[in-house]
Amino acid sequence: MQLQILFGLLLSIAIVSCNGLTMSGYLSKVDKARLAGVFKASWPLDDAATAHYALLGLTTLGVDAPSGVCEVVKKSANPSNIEAAYHASVAASLAKPACSLGGALKGLEARLDDASLSAESLLQLVTTLKNEKLPLDAKKVRSVMDRLLKDDSSAGTVACVLLAGLRIGLDKADLAKFKGDMKDALLQADESDGQYLYYDKGVYTTALVTEALLKTTDKLGEAVAPADKLVKLANYLLSRRQIYQLKSAAQLLVALKSFADSSVQSPVVLFLKSGATLSKSSGSGVVSVQLADVWGRPVSPAGASVTLASAKNTGSGAVFLKDAAMSVASASERSVFNIDFMKAKPTVGFYQLTVSAKSSEKRFLFPASIALQVKVVSTVAVQSMEVAVADRDQQSAPVPVKLTYPAKAKSQLEADSHQRLSAKFQITMSGDNTPVTVHQAFIRLNHLTANKEAIFVAEPDKDKTYKFSVDLATGGKNLDYLSGLYAMELIVGDALIDKSLVWHLADVKLDIPDEANKPGAVATPQETERAALKPKPEIQHVFRQPDKMAPASIAMGFTILCLAPLAILLILWAYLGANLSGFVTSVPALLFHIGLAGILILYFFYWSCLNMFETLRYLCLLGVPTFICGNRLLRSLASGGSGGEKKIAE
């Protein structure tokens, strides 16, 4: 059973792609509610652009918008700014009741003559003129469209031009001329993982191009884009449905709604409506598959049929069903198809169902096949349960207490540190009594008064017999060395078990000595954890105490020895006849000698009372000006020529 679980977990519970034409999801009720919350969070509105996208999103979702729109949009109705006028016009038309801009945008039609008009500005301008019922020259718009496509063939430009053409009501013949541009726009998209198609400018551009392609296709009445590329565009948009940015979220909804409403190419989603978990014990297990569009609405195409191509056990690889037709659930639910999977008498395990669908309606894009994940579960029974208390030395055979589910041992069991508590049992599937292994099989000892418990794992042997044993002399630490009355329980759980099993086996009185108080005892994990959580002593930072100073007589003698060279220097100067007749009388000279004298005095204080850091601080203050003045003094002496040399000689 554990091997089957491993295979089952490797498969996605959601729909798995079996070919390139497979939808990866749909817009659920939860998605719609979340997006509606994103749009409603914009109130109170700050500007017309926010009002436009919030109203567009809520209107597409069919949700009523809060009030307070007209006051904001009227402030932005400025004919000199195409974008501001566009946001105000669209927001005013979407508001309920609709807002009237009162002719504030008159004269905007003149902007069609602007040679610098971009594709986006053209779409905004045409939309505004259409909403406000202002004069709109279709021929002039058509000319601007041709000019824009000639200068720029990017996907965004193509999308804006196509939507502008739809706004002015171009006929099929004119729209057909843009088929090449539409195909070129699709070629510009990037593909990811073979399932997603998107444009590097992000969600908004991808959604805008998708809207333009679908609406143009509907107007032409024929498919222009390959079906697999449209499905990949839809997959990308659905993968971004968690978006929170207003502009992109609103355009994403418009594109997805265009997919659902398309009369030419509308992808169909197949998903598991019910039957993901089937119970073997109930004897009935119906698997239901739902057909829906990307908007999450049920679809029931004419002549639709759904076939279960195969049902494969992911653990054993056995195929239980092949080419089984699924039937319509009811006349009122023609989008739901059922099959009684349990009629094939599958074994317990995970199954991959390969499902295909088709219809006579060509507009629906059906996947050739998809894979759905279901599992068959069953109840289990515990057989041959034996609980025993035996001596550690095993000199006497234990007398087991045999139990039958869900009975509890009639008498209370007792054990101490010289004994061992054990149990053994088998787990079988209900109905066939075949021993199986499960993912979880535990023995829990729960102290009835201290509200503490210990969990022990029961391990199966080669015969699939589960065994549990705990030596109370060494295993007492798992019970925190807590004596008293315990409830001994069996817990069985597995992904393929219908209901987990908890069985109160017996009440056991345990006498466990407090090993923690014995000399040399090793602390339990619980004690170690409690000790780690206790507050630690405060750390006091103490600097190193200064070394003991020498006696004053020794220090004075050492000072005299240090000053002796200076005394010898003065005596020699006097002997040689040193004098100040060559002293240069200038400000730098005076400051240099004063600084030099200050440094010598600082050395004295360093020996007498200052420390190294204080001395360095004062030395920086004296050294910098002394260095500068000394430099200037030397320069003046050098520039004095022979006179300077004479003075130096003197």
How many Å apart are CA 208 and CA 158, to the nearest integer? 10
Percentage helix, strand, coil for the chain under 3-state DSSP, each rounded to 5 = 40, 25, 35
Please give the pLDDT value at position 527: 61
- pLDDT one-digit tens code per residue, 200-240: 989 999 999 999 999 999 999 999 889 999 999 999 999 99
How many Å apart are CA 48 and CA 93, to the nearest integer? 12
* pLDDT band per the 50, 70, 90 thresholds, residue 21: low
Detail the DSSP E strand segments found in 392-496. 401-403, 413-416, 419-429, 440-447, 453-457, 459-460, 465-471, 484-493
How many Å apart are CA 239 and CA 235, to the nearest integer? 6
| CB 212, CB 258: distance < 8 Å | no
| CB 485, CB 508: distance < 8 Å | yes
Please give the pLDDT value at position 1: 53
**Summary mean pLDDT of the chain:** 85
- pLDDT one-digit tens code per residue, 473-504: 877 778 878 888 999 999 999 988 888 899 99
How many Å apart are CA 625 and CA 619, to the nearest integer? 10
Question: How many degrees, rounded to 5, is the angle at CA 11 between CA 8 and CA 12?
Answer: 125
pTM equals 0.69
Please give the pLDDT value at position 36: 95
Sketch the domain layout of the chain as residue ranges: 29-263, 269-377, 380-528, 583-637
Alpha helices (H) in 506-611, listed in sequence order: 525-533, 552-576, 587-608
* pLDDT higher than 80, residue 506: yes
| CB 409, CB 386: distance < 8 Å | no
- Fold type of domain 269-377: Immunoglobulin-like (2.60.40)
Q: Is 5 helix (H, G, I), strand (E, B) or coil?
A: helix
Residues 6+ apart with CB under 8 A from 156: 119, 120, 199, 201, 205, 208, 209
Please give the pLDDT value at position 4: 47
Q: Do domains 29-263 and 269-377 have the same CATH topology?
A: no
Residue with tokens 């959604």: 207
CATH 2.170.120.12 fits 380-528, yes or no: no
CATH number of 29-263, picked from 1.10.1220, 1.50.10, 1.20.1050, 1.25.40 = 1.50.10
Lowest mean pLDDT among 15-29, 400-414, 437-451, 455-469: 15-29
Task: State percent of the chain over pLDDT 70.
Answer: 91
Please give the pLDDT value at position 523: 58
- pLDDT one-digit tens code per residue, 300-355: 888 889 999 999 988 888 888 888 999 998 888 899 999 998 888 888 889 999 99
Please give the pLDDT value at position 641: 43
* pLDDT band per the 50, 70, 90 thresholds, residue 534: confident
Task: State percent of the chain over pLDDT 90.
Answer: 42
| CB 224, CB 186: distance < 8 Å | no
